[in-house]
Amino acid sequence: MLFPFTAIVGQEEFKLALLLNCIDPSLGGVLAIGDKGTGKTTLIRSLSQLLERPFVNLPIGASEDRVMGHLNLEKLINDKQEHLKEGLLGKANQGFLYVDEINLLNDYLMDILLDASASGFYFLEREGLSQKVTSQFSFIGSMNPEEGELRPQLKDRFGLSVHIKTINDVEDRVQVIKRRLRFDESPKEFYAQYQEEEIQLYNKVQYAIGELNQIQLSDEVFTYCSQLAIDEGVEGLRADILLFKTARAYAAYHDLKIVTVKEVKAIQHLVLSHRSNKSNQTPPPPDQQQKEKEKKQQEKSEEQPFFQPIIPQNEVKFNSIFSSGSQQNVVVGKEKNTIDQRKTVGQYIAKDQFELHYKNQVESSKKHIIFIIDASGSMYKEKMVAYAKGVVQKMGEKESNIHTSYSLISLVNNEAKVILTSNDNFSLVVNHLQELESGGKTNVIESFKKVNNILLSNHSDEANLVLISDGHFCAEHTFSDIVSTYQYYCKKVNQLILFDTEFGVVQLGIMQQLSKTLNAKYEKLIP
């Protein structure tokens, strides 16, 4: 006996998003972003009980075999028959699949889950056998942004998203505690008090599912949704389609026969909150906006002349920057020994002698390069920002034929600004370099913390960190502070490369000293 869904206090937006996904599973799941301990798991379990659907909680450390399925060794040994046993994805069919801390889930498994959620099936291929497994489920993921962000490409794959906060209303918190204690004391009696509400909600959802395809869309809705997606600056057409579908599910839930703009407005935040690229500030009138834009451009041209990327004289060393010897820097993959279950059991049955047999697989290795560019006042003064841009541009060209993703962090005005996160398109990196701001102090310690956030949300096999700076860091940060911070937050970095842009007669040599302490590769840029 689980806590009744209708007895849960608060989290109305999350409840609505879950119910709409149950009415129309093609919406693509729900991403819950926010605090821990707010009853997310309880809410999903309660809904699975109400709708009599399976609930599967997928741990972030689950193996591929556990998620997708594997060869059934029991049948192979006892019955001498080859059968594939379904994994958690198959068990979640027609139910709920929940992943807590989804931002820490392996990228490969994430792609499998999202593909299965969108298509309603997946192919299980093991030991030469292949089987199509039906897997239609409501995919729910939750995450705390403080523990690492989810890549934008993955966020967009979730149909709806909600932001969950801890209840701050005293009366609501008291109500939560009282209901929980009453349920723990006598689950059956407590559930009986809400049984009628549970039955009514069940019937309401089932009726909405039956009526979904009968709902009509008014002409004004198409225009409104498309214009809304354009105004919010979303990429692609997925948001447009989801606005239509979600509004239709919302109308079915409220027993409406036609979708109007009113219904779209009621659900648009669920679709757009994790996709919108629109600024939170209200834009000024067109004339004023144009004047302000021209004024800012003029001020920028007067105060910060634009520095085109310049390739340093010692560019020859770029060819070996990620290599440890004479070999090329292309990492094709690493050999991974796994047990050949079919051959092992077959030999055991034939010879009555147990011996493990292995098969060699090549596990692909994706490279991830995180650039930290020092765009502080000292770099700007000596015009070394241009050389820093040149380094990034040249390195990107060298990596163009390799499976590589890029992140970009800028050190400016005593802050570490994350400009780009885990993007495979290097042209975007180049575009952001053109708009890079300059000035202020260099807070390299903050940048190492931002690197940690990026690494938590990206599980690539090889993460390389490139720091381009003159080493003139904030005076309040000691050398030992910088070293200890890097060692604590950047444990997952495979290789650290330091480009020293310090220029002048008197030099501090911090970058070179840092490279020796952290055992990093060191390059001195020659203007």
- Taking the C-alpha atoms of residue 500 and residue 351, their distance in angstroms, rounded to an integer, is 64
CA R_g for the chain: 28
For residue 104, what is the DSSP state? G
Angle among Cα 504, 395, 444 to the nearest 5 degrees reads 55
Q: Which of 126, 173, 238, 275 is catalytic?
A: 238
Say if residues 460 and 364 touch (Cβ distance below 8 Å).
Answer: no
* DSSP-derived secondary structure letter, 375: -
Give the CA angle between residues 21, 25, 26 to the nearest 5°: 115
Residue 275 annotated as catalytic: no
> Where is 379: in which H helix or E strand?
helix 377-381
- C-alpha span between 323 and 314 (Å, rounded): 17
Integer Cα distance of 251 and 19 in angstroms: 12
User: Are 464 and 369 contacting, i.e. CB atoms less than 8 angstroms apart?
Assistant: yes
User: Strand, helix or coil at 163?
Assistant: strand
Distances (CA, A) of 478 to 409, 466, 483, 511: 21, 21, 9, 13
- What span, in angstroms and rounded, lies between the C-alpha atoms of 187 and 194? 11
Pairing type for strands 358-364 and 333-339 reads: antiparallel
Report the run of H or E that residue 57 belongs to, with start and end. Answer: strand 55-57
**Residues with catalytic function:** 238
